[in-house]
Amino acid sequence: MEEHTLIEEEIFERGYRLIAGVDESGRGALAGPVVASACILPRNLILDGVDDSKKLSPEQRAQLYLVITRHPDIFFGIGIVTNHHIDKMNILQAALYAMNLAVQNLSKQPDYLLVDGPQLPATHIAAQAVIKGDSLSQSISAASILAKYTRDTLMVDLHHKWPHYAFDQHKGYGTAKHVQALKKYGPCPVHRRSFAPVKSTTSTP
């Protein structure tokens, strides 16, 4: 865990006080929105179990989501960009835009951003891109949990509206079952029409 908070501690030592970890979920899915989260943790707070959201079980993510969102000293924001906007602006720009929305939706504005991945959203705030940041930074890990839990919950809700595709199981990613359903039923209104496996289908259920 010391290594997990080393990046934040170096930034605190440089005089910054409100460091937000930023991450997104759903970039590679064929359906649904891309969801980002920004999360500010107080200095010296260690959250047991917080890790890259992909390494956690759904039950662990649900539990940690409650821990993070109910903590009185943690501030978080969520940004959601729909599949329609993804098709208009491309997935990279949509993901970066979702990150900006998440930062804007924080109740306290940070003075430094730690962003997972190689690219930064356009921002006036001092920022650092961190490759594999969800394994190296606690604040990015917390943001990754919030983003993934929020998106997974949205996809389960969409499953109830379009049960043909089993969004509750694969959350919109291109599994064999999902691609098979696409071929059989065609895309639904929440599919990303600019993505190749969707683009090749035409009928709508």
Query: Which domains, from first to last, does the chain contain?
Result: 3-161 (3.30.420.10)
Per-residue pLDDT of the chain (205 residues; tens, 9 = 90+): 455 567 999 999 999 999 999 999 999 999 999 999 999 999 999 999 988 788 899 999 999 999 999 999 999 999 999 999 999 999 999 999 999 999 999 999 999 999 999 999 999 999 999 999 988 999 999 999 999 999 999 999 999 999 999 999 999 999 999 999 999 999 999 999 999 999 988 654 4
pTM strictly above 0.75: yes
Question: How far apart are alpha carbons 45 and 34 in whole angstroms?
Answer: 28
Q: Which amino acid is at 28?
A: G
Cβ partners under 8 Å of residue 161, min gap 6: none
Q: Is the Cβ–Cβ distance between 40 and 20 less than 8 Å?
A: yes
Contacts with 26 (C-beta within 8 Å, 6 or more apart), sequence order: 32, 33, 34, 35, 151, 171, 172
